[in-house]
Amino acid sequence: MSARSRLLGFGIGSLLVYGGITWLSYAFVYGQDHHRRPIFLFVGLYAGAFVCYLLALRGLAQVPRHRLDALLVLGFAVLFRVALLFSNPIQEDDFYRYLWDGKVVASGLNPYSVTPLAVREENGKSEATQDYARIPTQDAHFALILARVNHPEVPTIYPPLAQAVFALTAVVAPGSLVALRLVFLGFDLGICGLVLATLKHLGVSPVFVLIYAWSPLVIKETINSAHYDVIPTFFLMLSLLLMLKRTALLAHASLALAILGKVYPLLLLPVFLGRTWITAGRARAFLGVGVVVAIVALGYAPFRAAGGLLWQGTLAFAERWQTNSLIFPLLHALIGERWVTNIVIAVVSGGTVLAVLRRYDLWEARTFLWANFLILGTVFLLSPVGNPWYFLWLVPLLCLFPLRSWIVLSGLLGLYYLSFYFIYRGTPGTFRWVIWLEYLPFFSLLVWDWLKIREDPHKT
């Protein structure tokens, strides 16, 4: 069988699996039949999609470097996503907060100032919640959305870029999950375009876009789960491409937008500063930092009236959340205090950035991209929250550095959904053993990849 025929065959097989996931998703109804939800069957279908994905990757190097093959990859990528467009979200409800925040901002209100719980309980009885309470009062659909917002006692943790996208969607189609998914789909396909442009710049075959475009993790978390991480990921990839094109100020502006989407791309700023210093001089480098500071400040400016509440959600996240991670809970158990563990993680993350700056010559394009990949990968592994959608930031870079350890991890993270099976049966502690099934194969393969890279650095 030719490489192109194999690609076609695995594409059709994957499409059937995603059709099966959509059909299965209708058994997942919010708040109903938790014990009867077919979680194991979903994980099995996800595994099936991942097996098709791995088999397609096996012959990727043999696929002709032809425009038709890249179009074939992208065509199937669109079909996979369309198949899930009208599915029920499987075990995810973050989008209710997106829809609520979007309506709040579109109504000219501040999502950081008042918690959803305060709106629900006070129902406009206090002056602070009056304007917010009008939203569910005037629209029963938003009353339902408000009732389903998770962690309603915490102000929103989503930064200004997210709020802008949520609000624009609310203006066009308020309270619509499908509209939200279509916006995310646009950014998702935009990442495919940026990956193709980056591959072309590096002289790599465009069919390697398949690593991102066919990733079951990307498809599930972006379309079915409707997680917005694809948006800051888009701006991150745009910033990397602009740096390769040596348009440093635009690259820093795009990085600033990524930071306004999720705070931790801030760790990449020293790498951008270092490369700009080398390629364009010290003055341009510090000007780039100034651009980042200015754009981030302007992004937060419309919400400054929230005062200290602006960061309350983020601080609560840092202090309390812990999900699906391995290294952080081990350190926490060893150290004992959560705040000390957070400091240790912050020091190690900062040390990684310094080590990357000392170790790598950022002049070379692939080395610059590799430095960013290392930092993002370290942050993910050290984070107390290892939700699958947090891995979305790394998948586009796997098209450039197709390391088997990280690709396998993108599939193993699907085991996260088994946690709900044990939670519904009152045995959440059982899932701790499943986390080892996620990460132990990854770390084993990571050692193998590291040994290969040491033998030949060009294999990255």
Residue-wise pLDDT for 124-139, tens only, equals 678 888 899 999 999 9
- Gap between the Cα atoms of 163 and 439, Å rounded: 33
- Gap between the Cα atoms of 198 and 337, Å rounded: 43
Q: Which of 165, 169, 168, 174 has the alpha carbon at shortest distance from 139?
A: 174
Average pLDDT rounded to a whole number, residues 186-208: 95
- What confidence tier does 249 reach under pLDDT thresholds 50, 70, 90? very high
Token digits of residue 304:
């400054």
- The pLDDT value recorded for residue 457 is 44
- What confidence tier does 7 reach under pLDDT thresholds 50, 70, 90? confident
* DSSP-H helix ranges across 123-263: 130-138, 140-148, 160-172, 177-202, 210-213, 216-219, 230-244, 248-259
pLDDT tens digits, 320-336:
888 889 999 999 999 98
- The pLDDT value recorded for residue 121 is 87
- Gap between the Cα atoms of 289 and 108, Å rounded: 31
- Gap between the Cα atoms of 38 and 234, Å rounded: 33
Q: Is residue 316 pLDDT above 90, yes or no?
A: no
Average pLDDT value for the chain: 92
Angle at 155 between CA 154 and CA 156, to 5 degrees: 115
Angle at 258 between CA 256 and CA 260, to 5 degrees: 70
- Looking at the chain, the number of H-run helices and the number of E-run strands are 23, 0
- Gap between the Cα atoms of 262 and 16, Å rounded: 34
Token digits of residue 432:
């701790």
* DSSP-H helix ranges across 65-115: 67-84, 94-106
3-state helix, strand, coil in the chain (%, to 5): 75, 0, 20
Handedness of CA 156, 411, 177, 162 (dihedral sign): positive
Give the percent of the chain with pLDDT over 70: 97
Residues 6+ apart with CB under 8 A from 104: 110, 111, 132, 135
- The pLDDT value recorded for residue 459 is 54
Q: Is residue 313 pLDDT above 90, yes or no?
A: no
pLDDT tens digits, 78-109:
999 999 999 999 999 999 999 999 999 999 99
Q: Which of 263, 316, 302 has the alpha carbon at shortest distance from 155?
A: 316
CB 82 within 8 A of CB 178: no
pLDDT tens digits, 361-389:
899 999 999 999 999 999 999 999 999 99
Average pLDDT rounded to a whole number, residues 39-57: 95
Q: Which of 239, 297, 299 has the alpha carbon at shortest distance from 272?
A: 239
Residues 6+ apart with CB under 8 A from 1: 9
Q: Is residue 456 pLDDT above 70, yes or no?
A: no
CB 391 within 8 A of CB 413: yes
Q: Which of 293, 325, 291 has the alpha carbon at shortest distance from 431?
A: 325
- The pLDDT value recorded for residue 460 is 55
Q: Is residue 294 pLDDT above 50, yes or no?
A: yes
- Gap between the Cα atoms of 72 and 74, Å rounded: 6
The tally of CA atoms less than 13 A away on the side-chain side of residue 135 is 27
Looking at the DSSP assignment, which residues form a beta bridge with residue 323?
A: 385
Q: Is residue 195 pLDDT above 70, yes or no?
A: yes
- What burial class does residue 301 get, using C-beta atoms within 10 Å of its C-beta: 0-12 exposed, 13-18 middle, 19+ buried? exposed
CB atoms within 10 A of CB 168: 14
Q: How far is CA 99 from the centre of its chain?
A: 18
Average pLDDT rounded to a whole number, residues 345-356: 93
- Gap between the Cα atoms of 85 and 17, Å rounded: 14
- What burial class does residue 16 get, using C-beta atoms within 10 Å of its C-beta: 0-12 exposed, 13-18 middle, 19+ buried? middle
CB 427 within 8 A of CB 439: no
- Gap between the Cα atoms of 227 and 270, Å rounded: 28
Residues in the chain, total: 460
- The whole-model pTM stands at 0.94
- Gap between the Cα atoms of 297 and 310, Å rounded: 13
- Gap between the Cα atoms of 23 and 314, Å rounded: 36
Residue type, 190: G
- The pLDDT value recorded for residue 67 is 72
